[in-house]
Copies of this chain bind each other. A is one copy, B any other.
Amino acid sequence: MHILVTNDDGVHAPGLLALAQAMRTLGKVTVLAPDHNWSVSGHVKTLHRPLWVKETLLADGTPALATDGAPSDCVALAVLGVLSETIDFVVSGINPFPNLGNDLTYSGTVMAAMEGVIWGIPAIAVSLDGDENNLKHLNYETPAAVAVQVVKQVLANKLPDETLLNVNVPNRPPEEIKGFRITRQGKRVYKDVLIERQDPRGRPYYWIGGDAPVGITEPDTDVGALEEGYISINPIHCDLTAHHLIEPLKKWSWPSIS
């Protein structure tokens, strides 16, 4: 099995190293990841400019490929031919911070995995519930071990077309993890605030700041699972349709256009 490992934090992020090392227990690993951080970058396909792919080394001395493209570009590049060997699985992560609720729609980590399933390749995204104010205590050992188990589950059970698993793991040692919980996408309330400053010429500029989002705890959601010490396994797909609204909308009084 040939596994593509990518992320949105950049090829030299420690979470990617932990993930690549864990995936080597399952098969051949190729790392192709962005050369810089693309957090909160969404689902990108870079068409308007060419992309570089350069060889580099991970901190453990193993070879990797870096590109100036986005996380989802890494997957497209790999699939479309930068790698001579076909890819059997895409694993994206380990993001140091959780991808929960509406974060998913912005997440480079999740969208890299989504790009995989769009090209017909099984994929998972893996994130750690790390604390941004305590970077020394990011436990990548647990999500790396979890990722191995989740890949095995997907291989054994198969997922339908264009579906993937968004995996979030508590920042705790393995023995303190309560287990897996299958979840739906929950809610986080964003606490963004706009900071207005002036440049050296007196012109205003803006910076989006503010506190971390606050999760709304519901036990069957990704947010709730993490809060209760469970690994969240959220099956997601590319279909944004609010299917429950199709019939109600047909009853609206749609006018004639001509």
Contacts and interface: CB of A to CB of B under 8 A. Distances in A.
A33 interface: no
Contacts of A70: 42
Given A77-B194, A114-B105, A157 B252 contact: yes
A142 B174 CA distance: 58
A239 B241 CA distance: 9
A237 B241 CA distance: 6
Given A204-B53, A206-B51, A254-B179, A43 B46 contact: no
Given A76-B208, A185-B240, A37 B43 contact: no
A159 interface: yes
Interface size bracket, A side? 35 or more
Contacts of A153: 252-254
A53 B203 CA distance: 10
A208 B80 contact: yes
A145 B255 CA distance: 11
A242 B237 contact: yes
Nearest to A254: B180
Contact of A50 (B72, B197, B253): B197
Contacts of A234: 241
A184 interface: yes
A253 B41 CA distance: 34
Given A42-B70, A184-B239, 15 more contacts: A39-B48, A40-B45, A42-B106, A51-B205, A51-B208, A76-B192, A77-B194, A77-B208, A142-B257, A146-B257, A160-B242, A175-B258, A184-B246, A185-B238, A236-B240
